[in-house]
Amino acid sequence: MKKLNSIGFVILILIYGCSQNEITTFQLSHLKDTSFYFQSEILHPTLLEISVSGYSDDSFLVNNIRLRGGNIDTVLKIDWYRDTVAISLKRYRATIASLTFNCRTY
């Protein structure tokens, strides 16, 4: 009986943890130095996942992480411990880009 209760507790935690991370999407067609902000749906997030896809003619920075130009399809995972999420974008060397950012916290 005790083992069955432990299994039920683990399943409940997994369902609760996996059901709370909504994806926030930002699209950028003109590359410029900017920041995006959104409120996390999770009470105490610990991880920020940023999925970046699209095209850039040269390097640019996302939260001070340099990404190379060309066709982009990458996922950044960053420790994050705040309810308000801030994503900083800097052009660095890029001038032309069409990018999509899908972000969520865990």
Report d(CA 24, CA 103) in Å as an integer.
5
- Characterize the bridge pairing of strands 34-39 and 84-90: antiparallel
Burial of 3 (C-beta count, 10 Å sphere; 0-12/13-18/19+): exposed
pLDDT at 1 exceeding the cut of 90: no
pLDDT at 10 exceeding the cut of 90: no
Say what the pLDDT of residue 31 is. 83
pLDDT at 9 exceeding the cut of 90: no
Express as a percent the part of the chain with pLDDT over 90: 69
72-99 b/e with 16+ CB inside 10 Å = b? beeebeeebeeeebebebbbeebeebeb
Question: For residue 56, what is the domain's CATH number?
Answer: 2.60.120
Q: Domain residues for 15?
A: 2-105
Based on the structure, what is the number of domains in the chain? 1
**pLDDT tens-digit series, residues 11-57:** 444 444 444 578 999 999 888 899 999 999 888 899 999 999 999 99
